[in-house]
């Protein structure tokens, strides 16, 4: 099924909820108003629909291939990457000083959603490059930024993150890769890194690996980790990638999904040591790597939105074409397209509501990020920085878990044909599974939400969020429409459930940590659904106002109906989730470990 970029819904969220017109008034974003956004999204849509999307199934059936240390990408990917780079898409959100376009994250996130919807495996390469650029922008020296960033922005080079080792998954205290200082200020690295996305390929001239390693004599644990730039090819005096470095791909993984994205095992230092360059100060590598990880975690959340959109589009197209059974209300004597059956409508509306809610959540976070960096009021910058930090684990955790549900429902809509590979529905579920795992599992995001984002500030940001939701509740109460009244009822109950959980976390975080962390993932999913529902409520109010103006009635009525469905079928479940968190820890602790 052909992919169609959801530009209209994206622009609605960006303009009406993200207030792009206000973003364009802030220093540095003056040329990034609604007209610019529409032009950029339309151009991105052409690339995604015409170039990247047709290669999605091709990559699933013809994965990247390893041959004696070299990785050959899926046929067509190299040419597609050239078009992606030539269009300037890698530099969309990066500073103009290094060849980027310096656009707001609000625009960049919408474009990234399209790229990931079109071809998730392909999109992972620029995603990791973005992370490498972010790390160098924040922690690299001026010389390092000038040496490495422009070539990544223009697509001649790509970037990776190298954290994981065979014995060190999420526990980075166990990292053993070592770095030996040399007399010229460089280091030589020795060790093995696994799960390196696009760690070896033939799309670009060079690959810039960002590698965690220990310098001799460094403290034990995470405090003794440093970050290094280790390129595949060492640049010469003119900046050309010429001399092969001692880093080699010894294999790539055979995976459930994202098969066209090579996941490499990289060996450093088999032939005397891989030359690397320290980023920032020794023993602060984890701090710097978290910059990359935070950028990547948000981007993976956007991948969840993208997967949901693609699975939904496929399911709707199939439901309109597949003729099966007479309608239960007797309105036709013959079999009808399955989209007329109530349960299929329920599944499709669930997919649609969750997709639109996830998109609104992700773009609300993007708007907060832009405000945190560019708002003219320092107080607003700080408030939005805290808000964005709180939202990142929600975007990553909630949107990716939702994509699994949406992709699974997509297969269910197809019935038996969904289980058959030729329809393509199964690929979305297989691809979606990794999203809740890499860049920190959902449990890791939930631990972050509890420890760093709730306990650390005494619930200050969570309470601030609840106050913003309450403001929208008041607007709903004043609306007077039946849909607004229903949304008001559900949103109020959801906010109260959220605050009950926040208070439970604050009260028992230190005295009963096992009880609190047992409910950490449900807390994350509750918070994610609340913020998504809040944004859907705001969308409902805007759509009702536009209807009164007679603006785009079909779209606005659909937006209202989707928001109402989200209220009645998603927000309605949150009080029950609250009860499971607050009252359910004892049931979990009742089972002795030996009884499992």
Catalytic residue among 356, 439, 473, 544: 439
The Cα–Cα gap between 317 and 325 comes to 18
What count of Cα atoms within 13 Å lies in the side-chain half-sphere of residue 386? 17
The Cα–Cα gap between 408 and 418 comes to 9
Q: How many CB atoms lie within 10 A of CB 553?
A: 12
The Cα–Cα gap between 525 and 57 comes to 31
User: In which residue are the tokens 């007797």 written?
Assistant: 330
Mark whether 439 is an active-site residue. Answer: yes
Three-state secondary structure call for residue 71: strand
The Cα–Cα gap between 566 and 354 comes to 7
Beta bridge partners of 285: none
Tokens encoding 176: 């053993």
Give the contacts of 323 (CB within 8 A, at least 6 positions apart). Answer: 335, 336, 337, 338
The Cα–Cα gap between 363 and 105 comes to 9
| Rg for the chain, CA atoms, rounded | 24
CA neighbor of 496 nearest in space, from 442, 577, 562? 577
Q: Assess contact for 225 and 286: CB atoms under 8 A.
A: yes
The Cα–Cα gap between 411 and 135 comes to 39
Query: Active-site residues: which are they?
Result: 439
């Amino acid at each position: 099924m052909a992919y169609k970029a959801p530009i209209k819904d994206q622009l609605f969220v960006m303009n009406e909820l993200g207030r792009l017109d206000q973003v364009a008034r802030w220093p540095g974003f003056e040329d990034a108003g609604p007209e610019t956004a529409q032009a950029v999204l339309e151009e991105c849509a052409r690339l995604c629909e015409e170039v990247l999307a047709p290669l999605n199934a091709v990559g699933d059936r013809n994965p990247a291939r390893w041959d004696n240390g070299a990785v050959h990408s899926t046929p067509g990917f190299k040419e597609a990457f050239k078009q992606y780079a030539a269009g300037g898409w890698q530099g969309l959100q990066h500073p103009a000083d290094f060849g980027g376009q310096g656009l707001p994250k609000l625009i960049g996130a919408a474009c990234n959603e399209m790229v990931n919807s079109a071809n998730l495996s392909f999109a992972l390469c620029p995603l990791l490059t973005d992370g490498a650029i972010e790390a160098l922008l924040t922690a690299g020296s001026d010389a390092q930024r000038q040496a490495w960033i422009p070539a990544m922005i223009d697509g001649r080079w790509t970037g990776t993150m190298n954290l994981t080792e065979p014995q060190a998954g999420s526990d980075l205290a166990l990292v053993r890769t070592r770095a030996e200082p040399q007399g010229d200020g460089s280091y030589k690295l020795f060790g093995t890194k696994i799960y390196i996305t696009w760690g070896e390929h033939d799309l670009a001239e060079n690959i810039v690996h960002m590698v965690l390693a220990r310098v001799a004599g460094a403290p034990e644990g995470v405090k003794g980790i440093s970050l290094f730039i280790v390129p595949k090819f060492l640049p010469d005096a003119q900046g050309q990638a010429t001399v092969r470095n001692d880093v080699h791909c010894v294999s790539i993984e055979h995976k459930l999904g994202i098969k066209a994205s090579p996941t490499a095992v990289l060996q450093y230092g088999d032939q005397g040591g891989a030359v690397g360059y320290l980023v920032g100060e020794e023993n602060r590598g984890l701090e710097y790597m978290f910059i990359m990880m935070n950028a990547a975690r948000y981007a993976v959340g956007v991948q969840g939105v993208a997967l949901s959109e693609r699975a939904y589009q496929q399911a709707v197209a199939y439901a309109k074409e597949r003729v099966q059974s007479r309608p239960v209300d007797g309105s036709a004597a013959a079999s009808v397209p399955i989209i007329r059956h109530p349960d299929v409508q329920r599944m499709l509306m669930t997919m649609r509501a969750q997709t639109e809610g996830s998109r609104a959540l992700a773009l609300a976070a993007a708007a907060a990020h832009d405000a945190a960096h560019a708002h003219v009021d320092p107080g607003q910058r700080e408030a939005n920085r805290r808000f964005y930090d709180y939202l990142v684990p929600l975007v990553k955790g909630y949107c990716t878990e939702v994509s699994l549900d949406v992709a699974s429902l997509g297969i269910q809509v197809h019935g038996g044909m969904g289980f058959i590979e030729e329809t393509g529905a199964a690929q979305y579920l297989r691809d979606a599974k990794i999203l809740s795992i890499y860049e920190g599992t959902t449990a890791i995001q939930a631990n972050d939400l509890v420890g760093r984002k709730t306990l650390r500030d005494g619930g200050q940001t969570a309470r601030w969020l609840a106050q913003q939701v309450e403001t929208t509740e008041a607007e709903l109460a004043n609306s007077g429409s039946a849909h607004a009244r229903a949304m008001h009822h559900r949103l109020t109950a959801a906010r109260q459930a959220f605050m009950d959980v926040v208070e439970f976390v604050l009260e028992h975080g230190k005295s009963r940590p096992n009880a609190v962390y047992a409910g950490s993932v449900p807390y994350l999913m509750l918070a994610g659904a609340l913020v998504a529902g809040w944004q859907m409520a705001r969308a409902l109010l805007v759509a009702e106002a536009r209807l009164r103006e007679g603006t785009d009635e079909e779209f606005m009525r659909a937006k209202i109906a989707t928001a109402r469905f989200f209220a009645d079928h998603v927000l309605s479940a949150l009080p029950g989730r609250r009860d499971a968190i607050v009252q359910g820890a004892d049931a979990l602790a009742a089972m002795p470990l030996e009884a499992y």
